[in-house]
Structures are given as structure tokens and as C-alpha cells.
Amino acid sequence: QVQLVESGGGLVQPGGSLRLSCAASGGSGFSLDYYHIFWFRQAPGKEREGVSCISSIGSSDGTTHYIDSVKGRFTISRDDAKNTVYLQMNSLKPEDTGDYYCAVNAPTYFNQVCSAYYHDMDYWGKGTLVTVSS
């Protein structure tokens, strides 16, 4: 089993920045570098949407992906030595408001990119709330 714990959410004004963290843990031999890692968000009254992902290091090349609405503003990164993933969010907009969730997919094949797997999460965190408002 993989446990994911998000942190770093809060209230920020438009144009501000936040950095979200996702701390991962598991059983013996757990290595975060094996997993594709994703950030999703869900605005009030809206469906959950994928925001960004970073591909497995153990089975792929760490390629990142962003949806168009956050491209150039958000940066996903991973520190596998600390079993932690980050989402740096800059130039935040009110429409970025929502609950942000970290999730992982356990790759089945080598040399795959995470963007192919937004539909197939194996584990989810409980979320952290980001509110962008003046």
C-alpha cells in the first residue's frame, strides 16, 4: 500500500505563489521513483481534473506534462531520495482554486509517459485546499 499526504495549501492572492508537497510512503522496499505521479484538482461544483504529472524514473524518463491552463505557471518536480513530489504554483489565478490531490500510477510497461495515465490512478492522497482570492 502507498500512502500519500499533501501539504502546502492555503489562501493566496491572485498573482501569488504556493508550493504543494506530496509525501509518499509504502512498505518495505518502497521506491517513489517507480511511480508516475500526478496532481489533480477539483474546484467547488466542478469535476476533478488532472493538472500535471511527472513520469516514473525507474521505468521511464521523468518526463513532465501540464494541462494548457497551467503551463508556464506550474512546475512539477520529484525528490525521490525524500519520497516527495512538489507542485510549484506561480501566478495563481482565482480559477486555480480547489482541492489539490496527489496520486500515483504504478507503471505496467517501461518507457511510458505519465500523460497516458491520467485515467488510471492506483493511490490517492486526501487533498489540500488551495484558495486564490483577494
* DSSP characters over the chain: --EEEEE--EEE-TT--EEEEEEEE-STT--GGGSEEEEEEE-TTS--EEEEEE--SSSS---EEE-TTTTTTEEEEEEGGGTEEEEEE-S--GGG-EEEEEEEE--SSSS--GGGGTT--SEE---EEEEE--
At 97 the pLDDT is 98
At 102 the pLDDT is 98
Segments of the chain with pLDDT less than 70 = none
At 28 the pLDDT is 85
